[in-house]
Amino acid sequence: MKLKQRWMAGLAVLALSLTLFSGCGQVTDTAVSYGLKDIPAYSGEPYVAVNNNEPLFTDDERKNDQAFEEYAPLDDLGRCGTAYSCVGRELMPTEARGNISQVKPTGWHSVKYDCVDGKNLYNRCHLIGYQLTAENANDRNLITGTRYLNVEGMLPFENLVADYIKETDNHVLYRVTPIFSGDNLVADGVLMEGYSVEDGGEGVTFCVYAYNVQPGVTIDYATGDSALAGETPTGEIGQTGERDYVLNTGTKKFHLPDCASATDMKAANRQEYHGTRDTLIQQGYAPCGRCKP
């Protein structure tokens, strides 16, 4: 209960502040629905300073040097809200990161483009990075984020905080809020705030907005559909023609992952597959008549 109260208070302050500098902010229970007009459009830099780089923590929050971590419950659309922590050595991982592939954040698509580093357009982006609070498959801490957001936008700040804590054994207030427009399933970006407690922010102070974009790719943020820049966004088939399918090895049919037949099939016959439709047909599989993949 105490943790929940702290999260609600933090969100209220954040919401107020966002409203103040947006002029048209709207706040829902668990996701900040925020007019982005005062944040400049993406212009080639992965992040931009917000509020003169001054985080929105209250004076009382800035005095807290006790480690905690809080993740807002998912909203009615299944979207993440604010993730907030006072990060210290005691929360940092002591073992390698585990598997998180079972989590499918809102707007998730497995889609590849040759122009993307590693080809996968989307990553399961930790709001608070694993190196800070050791959270694995926590669905309240994972959003659908582009490779660019993950590596160019968020990772530099996670590294900054992690290495500062390792060097000083101090604590850092760290809050990440995904910003969704309306009912979009994919966030436009994330607001990231950091403040080092014991030295009054001398070591770490930042307040930035990181863009959930991928240069060369157009994204439909309502659904997560995507296309090469200049083309019309479509579903899961990217530039490589590959996507996720579910195979029924008994009937030799292949299905879209959300097909009812895929849900109903015997576990023994079920096989997940990522590749092209043509390859499956060459292997003797036929498309399902219900979902028509």
Catalog residues that contact other proteins under the rule CB under 8 A.
47, 49, 53, 155-157, 159-160, 163-164, 166-167, 202-206, 208
- CB 153, min distance to other proteins, A: 10
Q: Which is nearer to other proteins, 93 or 287 (CB)?
A: 93
* Phi, psi angle pair for 194, to nearest 5°: -145, 145
Cross-strand partners of 2: none
Q: Which is nearer to other proteins, 47 or 122 (CB)?
A: 47
- CB 54, min distance to other proteins, A: 9
Instruction: Write out the DSSP string of 211-240.
Output: E--BTTEEE-TTT--EEETTS--BSS--TT
Q: Which is nearer to other proteins, 117 or 183 (CB)?
A: 117
Element (H, E) at 244: strand 243-248
Cα distance between residue 171 and residue 199, in whole Å: 9
Cross-strand partners of 51: none
- CB 159, min distance to other proteins, A: 5
Q: Which is nearer to other proteins, 47 or 113 (CB)?
A: 47
Edge to edge, the sheet with strand 243-248 lists 270-275, 243-248, 253-255, 286-287
Q: Which is nearer to other proteins, 151 or 237 (CB)?
A: 151
- CB 56, min distance to other proteins, A: 15
The tokens for 21 are 């500098």
Cα distance between residue 155 and residue 10, in whole Å: 23
- CB 90, min distance to other proteins, A: 16
- 212 within 8 A of 149, measured Cβ to Cβ: yes
Q: Which is nearer to other proteins, 8 or 49 (CB)?
A: 49
Strands 243-248 and 270-275: antiparallel
Q: Which is nearer to other proteins, 169 or 264 (CB)?
A: 169
Residue whose entry in the numeric block shows the structure tokens 């001054």: 54
- CB 177, min distance to other proteins, A: 17
- CB 167, min distance to other proteins, A: 4
- 195 within 8 A of 201, measured Cβ to Cβ: yes
Residue whose entry in the numeric block shows the structure tokens 């992952």: 257
Q: How many CB atoms lie within 10 A of CB 122?
A: 26
